[in-house]
Amino acid sequence: MNVVKVVILPAVLFLAIGLTGCGKKDEPPAGKPKDAHEHDQHAAPHGGELVELAGGTVHVEFLHDESAGTLTVHLLDGSMKPIVVTDPPVLNLKTASGPKQITGAAASGGAAGASQWSFRDDALKSHPEGASVRLTIAGKTYSPELPHEHH
């Protein structure tokens, strides 16, 4: 009778536990994405490259046109709605002749501020390495780097 308790009883328990799990999908823990590639990412509304700041409450969208030597920056909140700022962003570039700063021009808005800013310079006719934009939103200063564009 000891053989039945030692060998058969654990085998029956193992089989019963294994059968109760059959047919169920492995569900991720609550609050975790089902797949690492299924995370909640926003699409860039203007077709540029997004950089997330302030824990996702701010997004900066960069549109770089090398042929024109321009960079357009859109400032967006966590819901991808425009954020208006009054202080013009400053583009910091590393060029062959040394560091260069370019103040952004408001695309619209004027004195009340703007959510879209543009920069024009011959140094933007290629992808500048180490370029960043200094901007102030709600009293906080950020300096996101210009992302490497996907071609």
Q: What is the pLDDT of residues 14-64, one digit of tens each?
A: 444 444 444 444 444 443 333 333 334 678 999 999 999 999 999 999 999
Tokens of 38: 């299924």
pTM comes to 0.69
* Domain boundaries defined on the chain: 49-142
Confidence label for 12 from pLDDT (cuts 50, 70 and 90): very low
| Rounded distance between C-alpha atoms, residue 33 and residue 42, angstroms | 15
Confidence label for 130 from pLDDT (cuts 50, 70 and 90): confident
116-132 as b/e: b if 16+ CB within 10 A? bbbbeeebbeeebeebb
- Other CB atoms within 10 Å distance of the CB of residue 35: 8
Q: Does domain 49-142 have CATH number 2.40.230?
A: no
From the list 25, 129, 115, 142, the residue with the least C-alpha distance to 61 is 115
